[in-house]
Amino acid sequence: MKRIRTFGISACALAAAMLALPAGAQEYPARPITLVVPHPAGGTSDILARTVAAEIGKTLGQTVLVDNRGGANGTIAAKQVAQAAPDGYTLLLATASTHGINPTLYRKISYDAAKDFAPVALLATVPNVLVVGKRVPVRNLPELTRYIRAKAGGANMGSAGAGTPGHLAGEMYKNEAALSFLHVPYKGGAPAITDLVGGQIDFMFTTLPAVLPHIKAGAVRALAVTSPARSAALPAVPTMAESGLPGFQAVSWHGVVAPAGTPPAVLDKLSKAIATTLVVPEVRKRLAQEGAEAGTLTRVDFGKFIVTQIGTWGSAVRSSGAGVD
Phi/psi of residue 249, nearest 5 degrees: -145, 135
C-alpha to C-alpha distance for 176 and 170, rounded to whole angstroms: 10
Task: Tell me the domains of the chain and their CATH numbers.
Answer: 25-126+251-320 (3.40.190.150), 127-225 (3.40.190.10)
C-alpha to C-alpha distance for 129 and 165, rounded to whole angstroms: 11
C-alpha to C-alpha distance for 189 and 158, rounded to whole angstroms: 9
**Is the Cβ–Cβ distance between 120 and 305 less than 8 Å?**
no
C-alpha to C-alpha distance for 179 and 211, rounded to whole angstroms: 24
**Is the Cβ–Cβ distance between 256 and 13 less than 8 Å?**
no
Question: pLDDT (tens digit, 0 to 9) for every residue of the chain, 325 residues total?
Answer: 444 443 344 444 444 444 444 444 458 999 999 999 998 888 888 989 999 999 999 999 999 999 999 888 899 999 999 999 999 999 999 999 999 999 999 999 999 999 999 999 999 998 899 999 999 999 999 999 999 999 999 999 999 888 889 999 999 999 999 999 999 999 888 899 999 999 999 999 998 888 999 999 999 999 999 999 999 889 999 999 999 999 999 999 999 999 999 999 999 999 999 999 999 999 999 898 888 899 999 999 999 999 999 999 999 999 888 888 7
Rounded alpha-carbon distances, angstroms, from residue 268 to 26, 84, 121, 264: 11, 19, 10, 6
Kind plus residue range of the DSSP H or E element containing 315: helix 299-320
Q: What does pTM read for this prediction?
A: 0.84
